[in-house]
Structure 1
Amino acid sequence: MTRTIQQLFDLKGKTALVTGGSRGLGLQLAHALGEAGARIMLSSRKADDLVEAAAELKSAGIDVDWIAADCSKEADIRALADETIKRFGHVDILVNNAGASWGAPAEDHPVEAWDKVMNLNVRGYFLLSQHIAKHSMIPRKSGRIINLASIAGLGGNPPGMQMIAYNTSKGAVINFTRALGCEWGQYNITVNAICPGFFPSKLTAATLAEKGDELASHAPLGRLGDDEDLKGLCLLYASDAGKHITGQWLAVDGGVSAVTGG
C-alpha cells in the first residue's frame, strides 16, 4: 500500500549521528531529524558545547545523547562510530558535518593549514562513513549518509574571499558523494550532499558585520540562510521520501549558484 507523505517523512524508530552538531548548521540538522522522530547522537570536540546543545534538543522533546570526539583524528572517529553503535544498536542516518576552513591567499596559504582542512573535511568524512557503513549499514542493507558540502565546492569565491583549501575540500566532498552513492547503492545506502550558501553561523562576526548585507544582495532571494532553511532537504535525504535519490547534491543558497552558474 502506498504510504502517505506524513509516513514517508516519519523518522520514528530511526537513529542518527550528527558530527559538528553542537551549534550552527549541524544543530539545525539535528533539530530537523529529531523533530521528525529520530533519536540523535550529537558529536563535536567540546563537551560543554554538546551539553548545551543536547539540553536545547531535549527541551524540544527530542531523544538525544552526545559523544565528544575530534573528527580530524582517526582514533576518535573510530571510537565515535563504535560507541554510537554500542549505545544505539545501529546507525540509520549519518550526517557528516564537522569541518574546518582557512582564509589565506593561495600563494601564501600554509601547507599545514591546507592539510588540516583537507584532513577534516574530506578524510574525516571518508573514515566515518566507511566505519559506520561497514559495521552497521552494510550488514543491515540500509542507510542514509548526508554530507555537508558548500556552494564553495562549485567554483571560486567573490573577490576578497580567499579560501582555496576550503573550496577544494568541498569540491571533493561533492564528488565523494557521487562516487560513494554509486558504489553503495547495492547495499541500499543512499549518499547525498547539501551545499549551503551563506549562513550567519558560517561567517565570522567581523565578516557578517562588514559583508553580511553585500553577501545577501548576491542572492536572488535577497537574504542569508536562516535556522530553518536546511531542515527540509535534510529530512528529504534522510527519510523514505528520498529513498530513490542518491549521489546527488543540491544548493540551499537563495539562488546564488543559479546566478553564478554553479
Structure 2
Amino acid sequence: MSGPLAGEIALVTGASGGLGRRFAVALAEQGATVVATARRKDRLDEVAAEIANGGGRCVPWALDLENDDLGEALARISDEVGLITILVNNAAAVDGRRAHKMPVELTDTVLDTNLRAPWLLATGVAARLIEAGRGGRIVNISSIAATNYGPDSAPAALYSVTKAALNRMTEVLGVEWARFGINVNGIEPGFVHTEMVDGMMERTGLTVDQVAARQPRKRMMTPADLDGTLLYLVGPASATVTGTVVVVDDGGFGR
C-alpha cells in the first residue's frame, strides 16, 4: 500500500479494540505495515481483516504484556516482519479501585502493563534502531488522568500515577535518543468513547449523554479524533518535535 508511511513497520499494543484498533487502521491507511498486538488473537484477526480489505497489511501478533518475554517477542517480530520503526505504546490496565482497596496482584498488573511494558518495548525498539543506524518514532498514549485527578474522579489512582510516569518517560527518552534521530512523544487524550471509558462510566453510574453534557462541545470524542495527532507525530512534519506530550481533550479539562 502506498502512502507517506510506506516502508515503515509499526507496532501497536492493545490493538484489539478502542484506540489501539483505530491507530492500527490509521497507520495502515497511510502505508505502514502494522504489527497489531494484544492478548485476544480473535479480535486481532478481525483488525487484520479490516486492514487487508482496505488494501493494507497487518500482522496480528498475540502478546501478553504482563507475562510474555517482551525482548523475545521483539526479536521474533524483527526476524519475521522486519525492523520496527514506529512504536505506539497504547495498551493500558485500569485499576478501578480506591488505592487502599487494591490487592497486590492488581497493583502488579497495572504497573507491568502501563509502565514496565512501555519501557521495555521502547528501549528494545530503540536499541535495534540505534544498532541499524535508523531513526524512528515512539508514541506513548497517556491519559488526562496523568494531570487531572479530583475527589469526584472515578477510582483510578494507580492508573493516574502510571500515566504521569509515562509522561516523564516520554520527556527523558526524547532527550536521550534525539541524537539518534528517534523521536519520543506522547498523546494525552481526554474522554474518548472506548471500551475502557465505558467501563469507567459503568462503575460510576454515568451515561454517555451525561459525560457528553459536561464537555464544552457537548460530545464525547471518538478514537478517530486522534488520527491527526498520531499521524503528525509519526510523520516527517514532526521531525523536530520530541519529548512532548500533546493534550487532546476537546477543551474538556482546565489548564
After superposition, the Cα gap between the structure-2 partners of 1:199 and 1:231, relative to the gap in structure 1 and judged at 3 Å, is: same
- Aligned match of 1:3: none
1:224 counterpart = 2:220: yes
- Per the TM alignment, residue 158 of structure 1 is displaced from its structure 2 partner at its CA by 6.0
Aligned to 1:79: 72
Q: Does 1:130 align with 2:123?
A: yes
State the AA in 2 paired with 1:232.
G
What does residue 192 of structure 2 align with? 199
Q: Residue 200 of structure 1: SS of its match in structure 2?
A: coil
1:22 to 2:51 alignment = no
Take 2:82 and 2:48, find their aligned partners in 1: how far apart are those partners?
Answer: 20
Contact (CA 8 Å) 1:217, 1:223: kept in 2 or not? yes
Distance 1:137 1:57, change over 3 A: farther
CA deviation after TM superposition for structure 1 residue 74, in Å? 5.0
Give the Cα–Cα distance (whole angstroms) in 1 for the partners of residues 198 and 90 of structure 2: 18
TM-score w.r.t. the length of structure 1 is 0.90
Q: How does 1:15-164 map to 2 (within 5 A)?
A: 15-73=9-67, 75=69, 77-157=70-150, 159-164=152-157
- CA distance change for structure 1 residues 162 and 68 in 2, over 3 Å: closer, same or farther? same
Q: Contact (CA 8 Å) 1:197, 1:256: kept in 2 or not?
A: yes
Distance 1:147 1:84 in 2: 20
Quick one: distance in 1 between partners of 2:131 and 2:188? 26
Amino acid at match of 2:109: K
1:205: Cα distance to partner? 5.4
User: What do residues 87-112 of structure 1 show as CA deviations (whole Å, max 9, x unaligned)?
Assistant: 23211101111110011122222233
| Alignment partner of 1:241 is 2:234 | no
CA distance in 1, matches of 2:54, 2:151: 38
Question: What is the DSSP-based 3-state SS (H/G/I as helix, E as strand, rest coil) of the residue aligned with 1:230?
Answer: helix
- Check conservation: 1:182, 1:246, Cα contact below 8 A: yes
- Any conservation in 2 of the 1:96–1:125 contact (CA below 8 Å)? yes
Whether contact under 8 Å (1:18, 1:96) holds in the other structure is yes
1:137 CA drift (Å): 4.5
Say if 2:154 and 2:200, in contact at 8 Å, map to a contact too: no
1:62 Cα offset (Å): 1.3
Unpaired segments ≥5 residues, structure 2? none
Other structure's SS at 1:12 match: coil
148-157 or 218-227: bigger deviation: 218-227
* Number of aligned positions between the proteins: 251
Corresponding letter in the other structure for 2:167:
I
Q: TM-score, normalised by structure 2?
A: 0.92
1:240 counterpart letter in structure 2: P
| Aligned equivalents of 1:250, 1:206: Cα separation in 2 | 23
Letter in 2 for 1:174: N
- Cα shift at 1:31: 1.4
What percentage of residue pairs aligned between the two structures are identical? 33
Aligned counterparts, 1:180-195, within 5 A: 180-195=173-188
Give the Cα–Cα distance (whole angstroms) in 2 for the partners of residues 33 and 167 of structure 1.
27
How far off is 1:22 after superposition? 1.5
- Using a 3 Å threshold, how does the CA distance of structure 1 residues 138 and 144 change in structure 2: closer, same or farther? farther
